[in-house]
Copies of this chain bind each other. A is one copy, B any other.
């Protein structure tokens, strides 16, 4: 029932008019002209609309089944996966040395939004593979890279990440999975891992599990954790597949959503594993994967609200109910469409202004990653490190909220599965939880990232906002620059409060961490909207053809400034009340 059409026009606007990608001096960016990216995005949109999105509901309804130890994916998934692989969609930004296309991460991100919006559960199979690919690429030996990467680039083999155990998720120092060194340099891995997305399935010849475990005799806690490559099927020296490894699927979890992805309990019973990177430095290697995954999850967050918004908009234009209070709009119809009602518009504008702002934010983040990786730009590296928890936490919280808003437009039909809005909501919910629950993102942001390198990165961010505002001190930009300045000032005040009150008691900072994450998200989206407004004004001044598009952009920017950005002052006032009211209650009196 629901439909999806990639918003390639808006993506092109962000890529070329906001980020001006092809003008940036980053290896690979010179190819990224509007014709090229437009063609790629159109093609991605086609497979997403025609192949992946129709399977979204199928995946939800059928789910994955564990039969005789083997996971069966929903009807049509394997064919679609083959089509995606053969189309090269899994190899976009991978290293040409291993069969990748070498495109920028920015291109991967734009395509990722499309894939994720059309079918989130499905896109997790290549998504996790990409993360495992990146970890092996960054930390593997040459032999490991030669053995695994070419197959993972094409998704002939897929990947997973194994962190969580039944008794520990965030606190991985408590981990019990063990790795016994063997004479041949390999390890025997024994333990149970849970919540393993894409843990098993029938779409690839092999599955490369990246597993965190403790080598016998390793230091206590998180500093004794190592990362291992544990293939489902062992790989012979000539690259052919050998014996099954000693690992199995314990069960598939029954979840609230993303039913099309197999979330497995994985049992490792002396499975053969190969150390990836250095012993006891597993978290470092895993973080290569996790940082990428966190940005990918932020993208999932707004991607679900994009597809939900598209459908809510269509419903609001189509469904006749009530009359425009200022005067009937369509006397020829039995009633006016929902979209005449101010509160329906408020709801839709919240969604639209979020999704478009989030897209710009995510693309900007991807651009920073390219600058960091391709230009070894330390400033960009610091900035994306700071932004990662915001992209993950804010975009998934708000993405879920907006998906719920979209569902609300449907009234009772929103609650009925056949209309599809419930699935968007149920699927979107996980993004707030996995890859570090959003409270952990807030902790990472305030407890670690703010003070990183002496606070250089957050100061750099404030400086960037200030510079933008200074460069845009015109009458026509005042409607965007002034609210942005105000919001940025609130954010700085919160940072200042953390420095002062957090010195006395760190809880004063941590008590405000969640509010700070949201505040910073708003300031980032505020900056994005101001930059988009600037780009729209430039286009109009330069006599752009599609004036409606740019006018709508400006109107949406004004909406965000008026209706969303004022949230920063509420967050600030909460933050400035400190930790006392949170810590007052004895645990027993909750």
A residues with CB within 8 A of B: 164, 167-171, 174, 194-195, 253-257, 313, 316-317, 320-322, 325-326, 334-335, 337, 339-349, 352, 400, 404, 407-408, 411-412, 414-418, 422, 425-426, 429-430, 432-434, 437-439, 442-443, 447, 505-507, 510-511, 513-514, 548-549, 551-552, 555-556, 558-559, 562-563, 566-567, 569-570, 573-574, 577, 579, 581-587, 589-590
Out of B170, B320, B335, B430, name the residue touching A415 (CB < 8 Å).
B430
Name A313's closest neighbour in chain B (CB-CB).
Answer: B590
19 contacts between A and B (CB under 8 A): A167-B320, A168-B321, A170-B322, A171-B322, A174-B335, A255-B417, A256-B417, A313-B590, A317-B587, A325-B507, A342-B511, A342-B513, A342-B579, A343-B511, A344-B439, A408-B439, A426-B426, A559-B584, A567-B570
CB pair A254–B345 under 8 Å, yes or no, is no
Q: Closest CB of chain B to A172's CB: distance in Å? A: 10
Contact B348 A590 (CB under 8 A): yes
Residues of B within 8 A of A430 (CB): 415
Inter-chain contacts of A194 with B (CB < 8 A)? 412
Q: Which residue of B lies closest to A417 (CB)?
A: B254
Residue from the list B334, B339, B348, B408 in contact with A438, Cβ < 8 A = B408
- Is there an interface contact between A563 and B585, defined as CB atoms closer than 8 Å? no
Residue in B closest to A323 when the chains form the complex, CB atoms? B171
Q: Once the chains are docked, how many angstroms separate the CA of A566 from the CA of B443?
A: 23
Give the shortest distance, in Å, between A6 (CB) and chain B (any CB).
Answer: 17
Known: A412-B169, A412-B195, A438-B408. A581 touches B562 (CB 8 A): yes
Given contacts A164-B412, A563-B581, whether A439 and B507 have CB atoms under 8 Å apart is: no
Contact A412 B433 (CB under 8 A): yes
Query: CB-CB < 8 A to A442: which residues of B?
Result: 343
Across the interface, do A589 and B548 meet the contact criterion of CB distance under 8 Å? yes
Q: Which residue of B lies closest to A587 (CB)?
A: B339
Closest-CB distance, A250 to chain B (whole angstroms): 13
A438 cross-chain contacts in B, Cβ below 8 A: 408
Question: In the complex the two chains form, is B253's CB within 8 Å of A416's CB?
Answer: yes
